Structures are given as C-alpha cells and as structure tokens.
Amino acid sequence: MKIRFYFLVFFAGAINLTSALAQNPAQKLEQVFNRTHKEILVVAHRGDWRNAPENSLHALLNSIDKGFDMMELDVKMTKDSQMVVMHDNTIDRTTNGKGKVSDFTLEEIRKFKLRNGLGRVTANPIPTFKELMMVAKDKILINVDKGNDHLPEVFKVLQETGTLQQAVVNVGDNIPYEKLISTEKIPAEAYIMVVVNMTNPDALKIIEGYGNSKKSVIQPIFNTDTLSNLKQLPQIAKNQIVWLNSLWPSLNGGHDDDLAVEQNQKPESWGWLLEFNPVFIQSDRPADLIKYLKERKLHQ
C-alpha cells in the first residue's frame, strides 16, 4: 500500500509540474464568466469512471492527465460529519461494503474499497472531499454535486483548500434564486449552478431569476426535445452561462453520448446540443467529446 500511495503522490506531483504550464483553472473560469473564453468546456461525469472507479482519486488524476476541463464529483456526509466523495446514499453499488454513508464514521468508511466500472473491487479507498480538492487545486475545474443539504460545509472545504475560485457548486433543482439566497449563505465569490427541469411550468421564470447572479450557471434538463421553451435557450445563452448534459436520454431529449459513440450519430447528439450555445457539456465520454469538439475548432 505504501508503494501505491507514493506512486499516486509522485503522479500528482508530475501532473502539478506539467499543469503549471497550462492555464490556471481559476483564470479559465473567470474568463468564462467574462465571456472571453470561447471554447466549449468538457466535464467528466464522476471522473474518468470507465478507466478508474467513479469519484476516486484515480479518476481525478486521470481527468487531469487527459486534459479534461472539469471533473464532476458528488459529496455525502459521514456519521461524524466528514464529507466524502460518493454519489449514492449507500455504499452498496460502488464499494465492497453495504450500508448508508451516514451510518459510518470516516475511519470506518475508509476501510471499504471502491469498485470499478465492471463492478470489480479495486484497491482504491473512498476519498474525502478535502483530499480530492487538494489534489485538484490549480490543476482542474471541479463541479460539486449532491451537496445541496450541506452547502455550508461544501463552501467551508473549498475555502479551506483555496479552491473556491475553481469550483462550481450545484445548489439544487428548480430552486428560485430569491429563495436560495434567503435560505442559504452563499459566499460572494462562489460560482453556483441550478438544475432546471424544462418541463416545469416555471422553468423560464426560474432561469430569468438567476440573471441577478453574475456567478451562476443554468443547467436545463429535458426528457423530450419537443418542448417549446427549448427554443429560447440559444437566446438565454447570450446572457447566462448554460450547461448541458449528454449523459443519458432523459437529460437531453435523446441526444446522448451513446447516440454519438455507439451509434456514431455525433451530429444528432453532440452537434444538436451545440445549437443551444452551451459553455459546458457534461459527458460520460469526455475524451470522445473533446476529439469531436477539436474537429470543429471548439476545443484546443
């Protein structure tokens, strides 16, 4: 285990050296909101999970090494109020253990090992949120998901690790901006994102409300591409930062990653999403998506 640990430390150090030559992620995010960054940013959903366990340190290191713009990760709280990186409320699917995250202390939960995409147990432990943010610092943008119930703790970790300016934090689904700021203390320098279901009758009203925030991202989701309000997204994207998902059909009306890769219908999938002028696209096929965007001169 010591050899593995030292290897990861060395690997992270090597990435830190090479990334120093690249653009600082905080500067990149600032340029996005200043509208001076013209590329589409690719977000690796739960990290490079096809080649490493999802939400693992290994997945983060792969994401950095492969040049993904951002890694999406999920956070949960342990019994002793420690934030770990985990998508589900339980550890059943992704580890060799069973039970709720909230039923274990950090010391207890660290004894379990993560499974890879094939369901096989690996040597990777469940990382803490703070550990991953320290490795990500100055190397890659981070999207923090599933932390809606613990926003003060999420922002505290980002502030303690000096990574607040390179992270976008999901604050909830379909929550109006006025309600958000009346119930949560959002740091003035924080970047936030709201998920808006476009089937919601108030979807456009919710999106408009976030126009009052200069550091907010709008994530529209839709299970059909026939909604009339989708026609307004290109205009919305002229004034607000739009994030789209190519993960699975229920989030993009059927214009998903599998359509692009497995069925080789990239114009009908990623090309269709580009018509809405997104700044971010979250994908389970980040390397393939970057290759496609480079061919269209939309990514370096």
Strands 216-221 and 241-245: parallel
Active site residue 45: yes
Catalytic residue of the set 45, 58, 150, 299: 45
Look at phi and psi of residue 172 and say left if phi exceeds 0, alpha if psi is from -120 to 50, else beta: left
Catalytic residue of the set 37, 87, 150, 299: 87
Nearest CA-CA partner of 217 in 290, 140, 278: 278
Q: Specify the DSSP class assigned to residue 267.
A: I
298/293 Cα distance (integer angstroms): 5
Is residue 229 within 8 A of residue 203, CB to CB? The reply is yes
Q: Specify the DSSP class assigned to residue 3.
A: H
Is residue 202 within 8 A of residue 63, CB to CB? The reply is no
236/63 Cα distance (integer angstroms): 30
Q: Specify the DSSP class assigned to residue 252.
A: B
144/212 Cα distance (integer angstroms): 22
Nearest CA-CA partner of 40 in 199, 256, 241: 241
SS3 167: strand
Active site residue 150: no
Strands 83-85 and 70-77: antiparallel
Nearest CA-CA partner of 133 in 92, 178, 98, 165: 165
90/138 Cα distance (integer angstroms): 31
Active site residues: 45, 87
